[in-house]
Amino acid sequence: MCRVRLMPVGDSMTIGSAGDHTWRYRLWAHLCAAAEPADLVGPRTALHEGSHRYAEPAFPTRARGHLAGWGEGWLHHKDVVADAVRTHRPDILLVSLGLIDLGFYTDAEQTARNARHFLTEARRADPAVRAVVLPVIPNVRAVTDAPFATEVARFNTLLAALLAELTTPTAPLVLATPPADWDLTRDTYDGTHPAGPGEHRLAAAFAAALHDAFALGAPYAAQTEPAPAVPA
């Protein structure tokens, strides 16, 4: 069976820390359970600070690949994505970026320009590469920082327009639906980074988009902690 090749692209919410399952693992396990085996590919396999101590040791090396980094956003990935796509040959990019950009580096308009550069570079490496992109999920800062919350909302509007503009029949760009019931207390351990329930909800958002747009996998089944181990 030909395995679909998925490349997660993101910041600290995607790379995860030592002891995390990560939403990458949750999605991989879901696809395996749905009889849709997938390889998660990319130039990196480690968690933050180079740790390989995933909560599920059976998470195989072939499924740990990603292009994610703590403190890295569209600003950083736009200049390296072409090489990553060319080398690791993903069929679909799974992108969760923007929070770190808006929080520290760029406003909504510049972040959108960086997203455009990223997508252009990815297609330069492979004109047929597809993508599922998750809007920015506001973190705890948005609760007390109204200008930041405004920038997040503005960027998400620009992102949706950008994907609609650049999508093509042969290389669709899909805007994922963020978790409607995202709760900072339940779904994160610090107001930003996903705890177990948040990992499941992020994985479910990508799983729904893959299923609806590309007929891959199945709707995400509700899971409890810890996620069941899936054979390699």
**Please, what is the end-to-end C-alpha distance for the chain in angstroms?**
15
185: its two tokens: 């207390």
Which residues 6+ apart lie within 8 Å of 146 measured at CB? none
Tell the burial category of 212 from Cβ atoms under 10 Å away from its Cβ (0-12, 13-18, 19+).
middle
pTM of the complete model: 0.95
Tell the residue number behind the tokens 């930041």, with chain if given. 148
Distance CA 224, CA 228 (A): 9
Tens of pLDDT, residues 32-57: 999 998 999 999 999 999 999 999 99
Distance CA 160, CA 231 (A): 37
Tens of pLDDT, residues 49-93: 999 999 999 999 989 999 999 999 999 999 999 999 999 999 999
DSSP, collapsed to helix, strand or coil, labels residue 166 as: helix
Distance CA 135, CA 157 (A): 9
Which band of pLDDT confidence, cut at 50, 70 and 90, is reported for residue 1?
Answer: low
Tens of pLDDT, residues 159-214: 999 999 999 999 999 999 999 899 999 999 999 999 999 999 999 999 999 999 99
Distance CA 90, CA 67 (A): 11
Domains along the chain? 4-214 (3.40.50.1110)
Average pLDDT, the chain: 94
